[in-house]
């Protein structure tokens, strides 16, 4: 209990500092907002082009796919707000030796590295994304019940856990190979596949996205929850996947850190 | 006094990739990397009492920083043991980390865009310092380091010296018992160097902190530490008083003369080695034991206006120390190089 309280105190201290830092660069906000609006418009146009030829994409209607697009954008917002500036910075820290200054402090290094920085303006992406989902949901004419909301919150949390785990996994390679900035680019390429429902992909790819690179769990499942097509048992499985992903990435982190301290940077 | 730092046969071996020059070599290293074992720290043992200040000297790559990294728990040793502030650095975890501080002259923990004060507050949260303690310690550090308004300015606007002073303050807010300082005055102007030296001495007196520092500047060492550890090629060459080092490694005294009448160089050679000859001044080097006798003879035989007996400058002693060992150590260091092994798949 005391430990959780201490962790929260440190977390709040980080975020307060980030807020102070970011206030100096307000211009960023406008630029990132515009780029998100532009990106969303382009993405919707792409979807509209598809639907000019068909009425279904993997069993999803136009507005259902837009709901998913909103979820995708909200998740991207989380990545840009927390992950890229935090754990995404790990390779640089390893190379410059700045990680040493983290490791001598009485704080969990993974926690420190992951949450020390927030790009707060990119939270706008989360808001815009969720707003788009809500709008698209209204367009489908479906009623939204408590179950949909609750299962969405749970599965979206799982989505964040999965994406975070993927980042930790990719960035941990920095302890072996040092220069791994391209891993972030690899992530961008892979996560792009999550812009469409996983059912739209051929069987082999679907298998990969569900079991190997679990991005099916990042957008398809939360969007399914919102559009009322999520089976309760699948929601349970999502929680299992989220916890397993976090556990596995934590394990890898510890092995990587052990290597770092035994090999020396 | 109990010991704050004990190192027993501390050893660190690195695998270093061996690569032939050129593109062909680079490709070969990529496909089938070969490794060479390098002993960065070789069976180093020493103990430092609580409240002592000890300087760690040696040329670049001698193993100083590696040793500090092992003692702070950043690196696992390949062999040997250590105990710092009553903890094993590698298993001590957060309770251990709360009792030490590690300041690296070439790395900064302060947030670049914000005033140092904000970094202080972050450290208060990280180290769990109570508000009352924080307020007193902060006031004390601001006073001793003469920080004044510096802590309200964004760090990016501070000079290197000012930044280092703030770094030190940030590292000491949790009042660590053991301080590891790696080149704390590196690249600073003389004024800032002096402030930091005075500060560290005063801080140690007030709080009984133990200090282990590495430095390139002899003035850091003479001002702060009575004891020096000298390391070269991973081996501990000397552990003792600074003055002992002088006696052991360079058992000579320097006699500095100001002559009132011209004396030819050859005439001076009768009394000792002429290290420096620029009439009317001259410097003679004589064996330690005969320094007094030589001085007496000089004073009776020649027209001497002024005479003083001095220890050789520390820089020179260190140079002699390393110069001598370079040859002996050289032969030994070559041996393990044959030990090239293939990396495990």
Q: Which two tokens stand for residue B233?
A: 């090629």
Cα-based angle A14, A20, A23 (whole degrees, multiple of 5): 135
Nearest CA in chain B to A258: B76
Q: Which two tokens stand for residue A149?
A: 């909301």
Length of chain B: 345
Chain-wide mean pLDDT for chain B? 84
pLDDT of B327 over the 50 cut: no
Contacts of A26 in chain B (CB under 8 A): none
Does B287 lie at the interface with A, CB-CB under 8 angstroms?
no
Nearest CA in chain B to A112: B126
Dihedral sign of CA atoms B119, A181, A36, A200 in order: negative
Q: Given the structure tokens 């060492």, which residue do they identify?
A: B221
Q: Residues of A numbered 81-110 whose beta carbons fall under 8 angstroms of chain B's beta carbons: which are they?
A: 96-98, 100-101, 103-107
pLDDT, tens digit (0-9, with 9 covering 90-100), for A212-228: 888 888 999 999 999 98
3-state secondary structure of B276: strand
Mean pLDDT of A234-262: 91
Cα-based angle A164, A165, A166 (whole degrees, multiple of 5): 90
DSSP E strands in chain B: the ranges are 3-18, 34-49, 53-57, 79-84, 100-104, 178-182, 210-214, 227-232, 235-241, 252-259, 273-278, 281-287, 304-310, 340-342
Mean pLDDT of A143-170: 93
B89 to chain A, minimum CA–CA distance in Å?
A: 10
Least confident of A106-110, A142-146, B83-87: A142-146
Contacts of B90 in chain A (CB under 8 A): 261
pLDDT of residue B341: 35
Contact B214, B61 (CB under 8 A): no
Contact B324, B316 (CB under 8 A): no
Does A13 lie at the interface with B, CB-CB under 8 angstroms?
yes
pLDDT of A195 over the 80 cut: yes
For chain A, how many structural domains are there in total? Answer: 1
Higher pLDDT, B49 or A188: B49
Higher pLDDT, B326 or A241: A241
DSSP E strands in B68-133: the ranges are 79-84, 100-104
Instruction: Kindly determine whether residue B102 and residue A17, on different chains, have CB atoms separated by under 8 Å.
Output: no
Residues with Cβ within 8 Å of A75's Cβ and at least 6 positions away in sequence, in order, are A129, A156, A159, A160, A163, A194, A218, A219
Mean pLDDT of A129-147: 90
Confidence of residue A262 (pLDDT cuts 50, 70, 90): low
Residues with Cβ within 8 Å of A203's Cβ and at least 6 positions away in sequence, in order, are none
pLDDT of A119 over the 70 cut: yes
Confidence of residue B324 (pLDDT cuts 50, 70, 90): low
pLDDT of B339 over the 70 cut: no
Q: Which two tokens stand for residue A195?
A: 């812009």
Separation between Cα atoms, residue B142 and residue B149, nearest integer Å? 9
Q: Look at residues B336, B329, B126 and name the one whose alpha carbon lies nearest to residue A7.
A: B126
Mean pLDDT of B302-311: 85
pLDDT of A264 over the 80 cut: no
Element (H, E) at A163: helix A146-172
DSSP B78: S
Q: Look at residues B66, B77, B58 and name the one whose alpha carbon lies nearest to residue B237.
A: B58
Least confident of A195-204, B61-70, B309-318: B309-318
Instruction: Kindly determine whether residue A103 and residue B74, on different chains, have CB atoms separated by under 8 Å.
Output: yes
pLDDT of residue A229: 87
Share of chain A above pLDDT 90, in %: 39
Using a 10 angstrom Cβ sphere, with 0-12 exposed, 13-18 middle and 19 or more buried, the burial of residue B148 is exposed
pLDDT of residue B144: 92
Our CA dihedral for B297, B298, B303, B306, rounded to 10 degrees, sits at -130
pLDDT of A114 over the 80 cut: yes
pLDDT of B343 over the 50 cut: no
pLDDT of B242 over the 90 cut: no
Does B72 lie at the interface with A, CB-CB under 8 angstroms?
yes
Higher pLDDT, B174 or B246: B174
Q: What is the ipTM of this complex?
A: 0.81
CB-closest option in A6, A258, A261 to B128: A6
pLDDT, tens digit (0-9, with 9 covering 90-100), for A36-53: 888 889 888 888 888 888
Name the residue range of residue A165's domain. Answer: 2-263
Does A4 lie at the interface with B, CB-CB under 8 angstroms?
no
pLDDT of B245 over the 60 cut: yes
pLDDT of residue B340: 35
pLDDT of residue B314: 65
pLDDT of residue B28: 78
pLDDT of residue B33: 76
- Interface test with chain B among A14, A100, A115, A265, by most B beta carbons within 10 Å: A100
pLDDT of B322 over the 50 cut: yes
Contacts of B80 in chain A (CB under 8 A): none
pLDDT of residue A106: 92
As a whole number of Å, the CA-based R_g of chain B is 25
Residues with Cβ within 8 Å of A148's Cβ and at least 6 positions away in sequence, in order, are A225, A226, A228
pLDDT, tens digit (0-9, with 9 covering 90-100), for B13-51: 887 777 777 777 777 777 777 778 888 899 999 999 999
Chain-wide mean pLDDT for chain A? 88
Mean pLDDT of B130-157: 93
Q: Which two tokens stand for residue B100?
A: 């030490």
Q: Look at residues A261, A259, A106 and name the one whose alpha carbon lies nearest to residue B76.
A: A261
Using a 10 angstrom Cβ sphere, with 0-12 exposed, 13-18 middle and 19 or more buried, the burial of residue A214 is buried
Contact A64, A227 (CB under 8 A): yes
Mean pLDDT of A10-36: 81
Residues with Cβ within 8 Å of B179's Cβ and at least 6 positions away in sequence, in order, are B100, B101, B103, B171, B172, B200, B209, B210, B211, B212, B213
pLDDT of residue B142: 94
Instruction: Kindly determine whether residue A107 and residue B94, on different chains, have CB atoms separated by under 8 Å.
Output: yes
pLDDT of residue B58: 80
pLDDT of residue B32: 77
pLDDT of A249 over the 50 cut: yes
pTM of the model as a whole: 0.80
Separation between Cα atoms, residue B323 and residue B69, nearest integer Å? 27
Contacts of B74 in chain A (CB under 8 A): 100, 103-104, 261
Share of chain A above pLDDT 70, in %: 97
Contact A100, A181 (CB under 8 A): no
Beta bridge partners of B274: B284
pLDDT of B345 over the 50 cut: no
Nearest CA in chain A to B30: A177
pLDDT of residue A104: 93
Q: Domain B251-310 classified CATH 1.20.1260? A: no
Contact A153, A234 (CB under 8 A): no
Cα-based angle B75, B233, B19 (whole degrees, multiple of 5): 75
Instruction: Kindly determine whether residue B125 and residue A12, on different chains, have CB atoms separated by under 8 Å.
Output: yes
pLDDT of B131 over the 90 cut: yes
pLDDT, tens digit (0-9, with 9 covering 90-100), for B251-280: 788 898 898 888 888 888 888 888 888 888
Using a 10 angstrom Cβ sphere, with 0-12 exposed, 13-18 middle and 19 or more buried, the burial of residue A228 is middle
pLDDT of residue B315: 66
Q: How many other β-carbons are positioned within 10 Å of the β-carbon of residue B328? A: 9
pLDDT of B177 over the 90 cut: yes
pLDDT of A261 over the 50 cut: yes
pLDDT of residue B1: 62
pLDDT of residue A243: 96
Separation between Cα atoms, residue B205 and residue B210, nearest integer Å? 10
Q: Given the structure tokens 């600073």, which residue do they identify?
A: B188
B288 to chain A, minimum CA–CA distance in Å?
A: 44
pLDDT of B337 over the 60 cut: no
pLDDT of B330 over the 70 cut: no
Length of chain A: 265
Residues with Cβ within 8 Å of B262's Cβ and at least 6 positions away in sequence, in order, are B279, B280
Q: Look at residues A107, A116, A40, A106 and name the one whose alpha carbon lies nearest to residue A77.
A: A40
Q: Domain-by-domain residue ranges, chain B?
A: 251-310
3-state secondary structure of A67: helix
Instruction: Kindly determine whether residue A104 and residue B100, on different chains, have CB atoms separated by under 8 Å.
Output: yes
């Amino acid at each position: 209990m005391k430990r959780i309280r201490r962790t929260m105190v440190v977390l709040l201290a980080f975020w307060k500092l980030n807020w102070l830092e970011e206030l100096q660069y307000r211009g960023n906000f406008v630029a990132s907002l515009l780029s998100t609006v532009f990106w969303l418009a382009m993405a919707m146009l792409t979807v509209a082009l598809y639907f000019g030829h068909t009425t279904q994409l993997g069993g999803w209607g136009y507005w259902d796919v837009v709901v998913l697009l909103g979820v995708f954008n909200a998740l991207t917002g989380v990545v840009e707000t927390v992950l890229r500036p935090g754990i995404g910075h790990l390779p640089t820290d390893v190379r410059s030796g700045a990680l040493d200054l983290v490791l001598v402090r009485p704080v969990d290094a993974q926690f420190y590295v992951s949450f020390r920085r927030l790009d707060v303006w990119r939270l706008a992406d989360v808001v815009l994304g969720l707003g788009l989902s809500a709008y698209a949901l209204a367009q489908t004419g479906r009623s939204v019940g408590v179950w949909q909301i609750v299962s969405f919150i749970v599965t979206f949390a799982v989505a964040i856990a999965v994406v975070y785990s993927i980042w930790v996994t990719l960035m941990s390679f920095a302890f072996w190979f040092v220069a791994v900035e391209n891993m972030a680019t690899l992530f961008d390429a892979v996560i792009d596949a999550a812009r469409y429902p996983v059912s739209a992909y051929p069987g082999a790819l679907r298998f990969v996205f569900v079991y190997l690179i679990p991005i099916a769990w990042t957008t398809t499942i939360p969007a399914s929850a919102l559009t009322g097509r999520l089976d309760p048992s699948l929601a349970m499985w999502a929680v299992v996947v989220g916890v397993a992903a976090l556990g596995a990435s934590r394990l890898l982190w510890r092995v990587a850190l052990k290597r770092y301290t035994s090999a020396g940077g | 006094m109990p010991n704050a730092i004990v190192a027993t046969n501390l050893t660190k071996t690195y695998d270093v990739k061996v690569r032939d020059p050129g593109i062909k070599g680079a490709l070969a290293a990529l496909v089938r990397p070969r490794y060479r074992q390098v002993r960065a720290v070789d069976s180093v043992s020493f103990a430092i009492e609580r409240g002592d200040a000890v300087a760690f000297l040696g040329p670049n790559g001698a193993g100083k920083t590696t040793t500090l990294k092992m003692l702070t728990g950043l690196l696992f040793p390949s062999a040997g043991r250590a105990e710092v502030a009553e903890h094993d650095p590698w298993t001590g975890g957060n309770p251990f980390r709360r009792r030490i501080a590690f300041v690296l002259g070439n790395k900064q923990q302060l947030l670049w865009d914000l005033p140092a004060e904000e970094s202080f507050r972050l450290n208060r949260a990280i180290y769990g310092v109570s508000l009352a303690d924080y307020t007193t310690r902060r006031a004390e550090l601001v006073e001793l380091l003469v920080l004044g308004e510096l802590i309200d300015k964004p760090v990016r606007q501070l000079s290197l010296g000012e930044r280092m002073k703030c770094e030190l303050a940030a590292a000491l807010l949790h009042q660590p018992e053991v301080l590891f300082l790696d080149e704390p005055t590196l690249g600073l102007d003389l004024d800032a160097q002096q402030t930091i030296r005075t500060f560290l001495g005063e801080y140690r007196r007030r709080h009984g902190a133990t200090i282990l520092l590495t430095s390139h500047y002899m003035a850091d060492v003479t001002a702060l530490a009575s004891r020096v550890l000298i390391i070269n090629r991973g081996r501990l060459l000397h552990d003792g008083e600074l003055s002992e080092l002088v006696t052991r490694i360079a058992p000579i005294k320097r006699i500095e003369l100001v002559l009132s009448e011209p004396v030819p160089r050859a005439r001076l050679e009768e009394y000792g080695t002429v290290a420096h000859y620029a009439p009317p001044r001259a410097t003679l080097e004589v064996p330690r034991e005969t320094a007094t006798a030589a001085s007496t003879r000089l004073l009776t035989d020649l027209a001497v206006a002024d005479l003083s007996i001095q220890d050789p400058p520390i820089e020179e002693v260190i140079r002699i120390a390393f110069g001598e060992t370079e040859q002996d150590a050289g032969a030994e260091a070559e041996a393990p190089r044959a030990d090239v092994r293939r990396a495990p798949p």
